[in-house]
Each structure stands twice: as C-alpha cells, then as structure tokens.
Chains A and B, each alone.
Chain A
Amino acid sequence: MIHRLRSLALPSAVILCAIFYSSVVMAQSGGSYSQPSPVQVAAAEPPREIPEADLPNAPLPAQSTSPQQPSLADLGFSTAQTQADPKLQARLNKRSEMLKIHQRLGVITLAPMVANLITGPMVKAKGKNGQIITEPSTANLDFHAAVGGAAAGLYFATASFAIFAPKIPNNPKHGAIRVHEALAFIHGPGMILTPILGSMAFSQEQNGEKVHGIAAAHGAVAVTTVIAYAAAIVAVSWPIHLKFWRKS
C-alpha cells in the first residue's frame, strides 16, 4: 500500500515542481520584453496603462497607486509645480503671438531704414561744378522723407508689440534678450532724434544756411540708429550657427 502511494506521489511531485518552476521563470522574464519594436506614438499603439494620478491635470494622490509602480506623488513635487495653469498658458500664447509679429515687423522695418541710409546722402546732391546744392531736389527729399516716415511708423509699431506683450512674472531675464533690450536704449532715442534733426537740417538749408549745430548730427545719428537696430536683430538670434556653410 505504501509502495503504491509512493509510486503515485513521486510523478505528481515532479509535475508540481515543473509547474512551479516554469511559473517562476515566466514571472521573472516578463513577456513584454521579448519582442523589440520600433518607436511608437500613443495614437498608433496605446501605451501601458498609466495611473490616472500621473496625468498632467490630475490631482496628486495621497500615496502610490500600486506598491510595484512609483507615482508622481512619491517624487515630492509641490502642487504648484505639477498643477496646470491655463491662465499662464493663455498669457504665454498671447505673448508668443505678439512677439512673432514683433519679429516679422522688425525685419521688415530694416528695409526702409537701410533705404534711407542710401537716399540720405543723395539729398545732398552735388552740383555740376562740385558745390553742394543747398536746396535739395524735391524728388530726392520727398522720397527720403517718405521712406523715413515709413521706417519710423514701422519701427514704433514693432516696438509696441514688444512693449505691450504680456509679461511673465517671476521670470528674471538672462541671455541674448538682455543685449537685445539694452540696444533699444540706443536705437529708440535714435529713431526719435533722427527725424527731428533731419527736419532741422532741412529748415537750415531752406534758409540758405549751411547745416550747423545739432542738426549736423542728423546723418551720424541715423547711421548709429540703424547699426544699433541691426545689432539688436543679430543679438537676439545669437549665437548664429551657419551650418549650411559646411558640407554635410
């Protein structure tokens, strides 16, 4: 009887061992790691189930959702860091939109500015025998004044999009933007002074006088303004990495 019992127990013990062994091995190997697959986006293949507590807008849970998976609450971030802020997002969106317009208008403004640097000296055209014509030709002056007016208009429109863009609190400025803004203290007053000095210079020439005093600085102020303005564009784009110059 005991012999028969043993003969039955032995094979069943072996089978039980085999089942236990295979279950332990399978648990360790983790089936999901056996098949490599390329990068997949959530839309193409739903990712592994993520606890609701980890979704960006979800409130923080009091503790881990599963003892085997750490949760965001375990990492000790403050609620202020993890909570969504739709108002800030709206401000950022508006700010970016306004600064994009600022950027486009800024580049466009450079064209009439440079055009005026070219037409400026033409206003002081020389006569046949080399003397300076005190009364400039109407065509040149009108063109110079019109382009100057356009440059000024575009310039102040460009500036207004930066000035009135929403400010983001607790965000001390650093980097190239500081140089960009510092240069505005040169080209800003320059853009106000240049047309005033130009008007004074024109008035003096109209009166048959040689341009003198502060009005004589009209050209120099204009050149300084355009250089500072162009430098501001370069500064905000710095460091420029001209990769396309290199062969791949």
Chain B
Amino acid sequence: MKRLLSVLLPGLLVALGTPTMFAQADSQWVADQSTLTYHMSHPMHEVDGVSHAARGKGICHAGSCSFLIAVPVKTFDSGDTNRDLHMLETTRGAQFPMVIVRAFFPQAETAEQWIHADLDVQFAGQTAHYAKVPFERTQQGKAVRITGTIPLTCSDFKIDRPSFLTVPIKNEIPLRVDMTWNQQ
C-alpha cells in the first residue's frame, strides 16, 4: 500500500499542477494604431469611408478575452463632406455618436493565426450580434496586427438606405478592421 501511495502521489500532484501550468496568464491589450474602413456600394458609386480614430482595450482572463473597440461615427471620412454629413444623418450619428464593438473569443486563439470572435456591435442606436467573425492575427515585433471584416448591413441597424437617382445603396456596408495592439 505504501508503495502504491508513493507511486500515485506524485502522479496526483502532476495532475493537479497540469491545468494551472498550462492556464494562460491574464493579459491586457491596448490598440496602438487603427484603420476602420466602411464600404458603400451603389451602381454608380463605390465609396470607402476611413477612420483612424478608433480606440480599443482588451482583457484576457480565465481563458477568455473581452475586447472593446469604439470609434466616433463622425470621424469617418469618405473624401466628401456632403456625403459624410449625409451618412451622419442617416446613421443617426449625432444621436448615437459612437460605434462600439465588443469582441469575445477564447484566450487560446491569441496565439493562433486566426481569431474567431463573437461580436456585439452597437451602432445607430441598435445592437447586432455577429458570431465567429474571423480576424487574421500577425505578429509584428511586440505588437499584434489584427485584420478582418465585420459584415455589417444597413438592415441590421434599421438604417434607411440612402438613394441616388432613386436607386438605393446596397444593404451590405462591410467594415474592414485593421488594428495594431500592444500588450501592457
């Protein structure tokens, strides 16, 4: 019995220690650079609106990560003031001035090439949920670059599609995300 105990006890200690050894440490991330680009499509126009004003923070804890990214709606620049003001009006951007994205994904994916995040997007006074949106992760020295596209649509946020010559824009307004994150 003594012999059995001497064999089992180290095994038990290893079994107890294993999960804590492999558990990832808590980490905090801050967005360093950001480029968010929405794309609007019309039979006569292809428009990209760009903002570099997004800020973000992420916390990884107990095996899961929660990231928050926010950007003022009015910082998107499509190259034409008139169009930007119309966008601000259509998206109720003065009433709801921020686009807020909450991303949730397993902490294990922070070391992989692809992160599949569940997103809650608050925009134009509405919240839409997007499941398993893929983002590519590229290590750039100490920083991590994340790129991907959130498949936003006008109907998700009850946005009346603007029209030109009576033809409305496409429902899809994908938002391209290109952000560089630094661990704190």
Contacts and interface: CB of A to CB of B under 8 A. Distances in A.
Interface of A: 3, 6-7, 10, 13-14, 17, 20-21, 24-25, 27-30, 32-33, 36-42, 45, 47-48, 50, 54-57, 67-72, 74-77, 81-86, 88-89, 91-93, 95-96, 99, 107, 168, 171-177, 180, 236-237, 239-244
Given A7-B1, A75-B55, A174-B80, A50 B96 contact: no
A239 B45 contact: yes
Contacts of A171: 81, 85
A75 B100 CA distance: 11
B45 A54 contact: no
Interface class of chain B by DSSP: mixed
Interface in B55-112: 55-59, 61-64, 66-68, 70, 72, 78-83, 85-86, 88-90, 92-98, 100, 102, 104-108
Given A30-B64, A92-B88, A241-B45, A177 B131 contact: no
Interface of B: 1, 5, 8, 12, 15-16, 18-20, 23-24, 42-46, 55-59, 61-64, 66-68, 70, 72, 78-83, 85-86, 88-90, 92-98, 100, 102, 104-108, 116, 118, 120, 122, 125-132, 151, 155-156, 164-165
A107 B129 CA distance: 41
Given A32-B104, A88-B94, A174-B81, A96 B89 contact: yes
A68 B92 contact: no
A33 B105 contact: yes
Contacts of A168: 85
A36 B132 CA distance: 6
A40 B128 CA distance: 7
Nearest to A181: B82
A50 B102 contact: yes
Contacts of A93: 89
A30 B63 contact: yes
A20 B16 contact: yes
A76 B57 CA distance: 10
A144 B43 CA distance: 36
B79 to A, nearest CB: 5
B23 A96 contact: no
A50 to B, nearest CB: 6
Given A32-B104, A83-B97, A86-B94, A24 B83 contact: no
A17 B12 CA distance: 7
A25 B34 CA distance: 34
A10 B129 contact: no
Given A28-B107, A36-B116, A40-B129, 20 more contacts: A3-B1, A7-B1, A13-B12, A21-B15, A21-B16, A28-B62, A40-B130, A47-B120, A47-B129, A56-B100, A57-B95, A72-B100, A81-B97, A82-B72, A82-B97, A84-B94, A86-B95, A93-B89, A96-B86, A237-B164
